[in-house]
Amino acid sequence: MVTEAMAYVAFRPQCRHAVGATVDLPEHTKHVARDVARWLKAGYTIERRTVEQVRAMDWRVCKCP
């Protein structure tokens, strides 16, 4: 059985625009934790999605003030 790779995605709470993502791999635990902590501190909303979903997302630059 093949499991899909997962990622954490940061969204701006004002417009729900994605601003960052990091793949959740065991060998990168410290980097993933650092990224998620930084995003939470900045006030972003964090969601866990498959890497395939993240690749299909709209990654244009947010125009919010």
6-16: per-residue pLDDT in tens?
A: 999 999 998 88
Residue 17 lies in a domain: yes
Residue 12 lies in a domain: yes
| E-assigned strand segments in the chain | 6-11, 18-23, 45-50
Distance of CA 28 to the CA centre of its chain: 14
User: Which domain range does residue 21 map to?
Assistant: 6-56
Q: How far apart are CA 13 and CA 4, in angstroms?
A: 27
Residue 1 lies in a domain: no
The whole-model pTM stands at 0.87
| pLDDT on residue 62 | 77
What mean pLDDT do residues 35-64 have?
A: 93
| pLDDT on residue 1 | 54
